[in-house]
Amino acid sequence: MFNIAIDGHVGCGKSTLARGLAKELGFNVFDTGAVYRSLACAYKESFSSVTEKFINDFIKEVKVEVKFLKDGQHVIVNGKDYLPFIRLEEISMLAAKISPFSQLRKIVLSVQQSFAKKNNCIMEGRDIGTEVLPNADVKFFITAREEVRAQRRYDQIKNKPNAPSYKDILEDLRARDYADEHREVAPLKPAKDSIILDTSDMTLEQSIEKCIKLIKERQN
């Protein structure tokens, strides 16, 4: 199987880039963030705060299944599909709070690695190249200036009800960057063999074109 790892900072366009590459290559995209967000949805239904005890109680019963249907990836947690809710800002923030717990990450890791062994895939997240798929055929680390990432996120959600301000998004982004880079378990950092790509001044099409060229060179 041919595996592509995409890591990077929050709001840098990893998911959009991964989907664009998948369309060109005919691969499935395994959206790691969607798994954590779906877990966050399930967690929110049973627990009001994030603690070690609540996380341990949660994982005792949790079952995760990933399906690819005509409209893309669906993550089924304990028999329930949370796709309509995983892009809500409150779920995004909760996913960031529960994802550092090693007990939870082990569950997601098992699902990720099992999928990669059976499929040509693109997997994106925070620790794919360093922890999840250390032997991936190609590894990208995507980033962009924090002000650019905040503006992109704001443009995506500014017309939604109760959307946060640009300032709030920027502050949250900075906090999440710090948490990702300084967490004890699998901190966000480029793998030694990652190709670092700054998309601050690139269009999506330019980013896809550059990555496709590098992937095909590796395939050849």
β-strands 72-77, 64-69 pairing? antiparallel
What tens digit of pLDDT does each residue of 26-57 get?
999 998 889 999 999 999 999 999 999 999 99
Asked whether the predicted pLDDT for residue 185 surpasses 80, the reply is: no
Q: What is the pLDDT of residue 166?
A: 95
Give the predicted TM-score (pTM) of the model. Answer: 0.79
Eight-class DSSP state of 74: E
- SS3 assignment, position 80: strand
| Summary mean pLDDT of the chain | 93
Domain residue ranges in the chain: 3-219
Q: pLDDT-derived band of residue 194, with 50, 70 and 90 as boundaries? A: very high
* H/E stretch holding 115: helix 102-118
Asked whether the predicted pLDDT for residue 72 surpasses 90, the reply is: no
- What CATH architecture is 3-219? 3-Layer(aba) Sandwich (3.40)
What tens digit of pLDDT does each residue of 9-26 get?
988 888 899 999 999 999
Q: How many residues does the chain have?
A: 220
Count other C-beta atoms under 10 Å from residue 219's C-beta: 10
Residue type, 204: L
What tens digit of pLDDT does each residue of 198-216 get?
999 999 999 999 999 999 9
Residues 186/193, Cβ–Cβ less than 8 Å: no
- The average pLDDT across 161-189 equals 91
